[in-house]
Structure 1
Amino acid sequence: MANIMIAVPEKYALEVSSPAPVTSERQHEEYLSVLDQLASKDNPTSEEEKYAEVLMTLIEAYEEEHHSIPDAPPVEVLRTLMDANHLRQKDLVPIFGSETIVSEVLHKKRGLNKTHIEKLSKRFRVSPAVFFSRTMNR
């Protein structure tokens, strides 16, 4: 792998002179903060863009190892999102069409269809992929 030097403005300097793999929550937060600063720039330099790419790669690697969401059945994902948003079955009627269908889905008597998944992903601002069973093709 070629060694690439990236010039970074001093105001973005981290604890180390060049980014290294993230090894702690403190370092993760520091990298996120710098990435936020870079992302908020209207006209970043090419060096800043390269630096942001390096930070994103390091942050993603850390998050994959330490913050990944375990495989969960789609209904459990839905229940978790409902709890996090303080929603009850009746709040999802506009998505499912009736409280009966909501109940059937939550009690695993009916699966989610494409329309449900599209509406749920928009409602909760999550990827539609979270509503697909990850164990289906294993």
Structure 2
Amino acid sequence: MMNIRPIKTEEDYHNAISRIEELWGAKKDTPEGDESDLLVTLVESYEMKHYPIAPPDPIDAIKFRMEQMGLTNADMEKFLGSQSRVSEVLNRKRRLSLGMIKSLYKGLKIPAEILLA
């Protein structure tokens, strides 16, 4: 029978991880599968609260999207302005303006909350 409680301490967290490992491969819709699902949900909640992942750096996000889409610095002029402005932004010598953020959001689908960070 399951005895699942909220994860409040590091010890609780490590015990839950160990139990998940024991239950690894449990069949869905079985008591073990249900226990595993509940523990994973509790562990994820604990990790989000105690080990938050910082949003990516805006310039790193732009460079990543450029790489994904095969874009060059010249391609970025339509989003950021002149060639020198693209260079300044990508080399962190100029901050993104609101206009640039809107253009990158619309054109490259980079989330605004990342660009505003």
Normalised TM-score (structure 2)? 0.55
Question: What is the identity percentage for the equivalent residue pairs of Structure 1 and Structure 2?
Answer: 23
Partner of 1:121: 105
Q: Which runs of 5+ in 2 are unaligned?
A: 1-26
Give the superposition deviation at 1:21.
4.0
SS at match of 2:29: coil
Amino acid at match of 1:16: D
Give the superposition deviation at 1:111.
0.5
Give the superposition deviation at 1:72.
2.8
Amino acid at match of 2:79: I
Partner of 1:87: 71
Give the superposition deviation at 1:110.
0.5
Q: Which runs of 5+ in 1 are unaligned?
A: 1-13, 24-57, 134-138
Residues 22/104 of structure 1: CA separation in 2 closer, same or farther (3 Å cut): farther
Distance across 2 between alignment mates of 1:91 and 1:120? 12
CA RMSD of aligned residues (A): 2.8
Give the superposition deviation at 1:15.
2.1
Give the superposition deviation at 1:70.
4.1
* Alignment size in residue pairs: 81
Determine which structure has the larger helix proportion and give its number: 2
CA contact (8 A) 2:61 2:110 kept: no
Q: Which has the larger radius of gyration?
A: 2
CA contact (8 A) 2:65 2:108 kept: yes
Partner of 1:16: 29
Give the superposition deviation at 1:22.
7.6
Normalised TM-score (structure 1)? 0.48
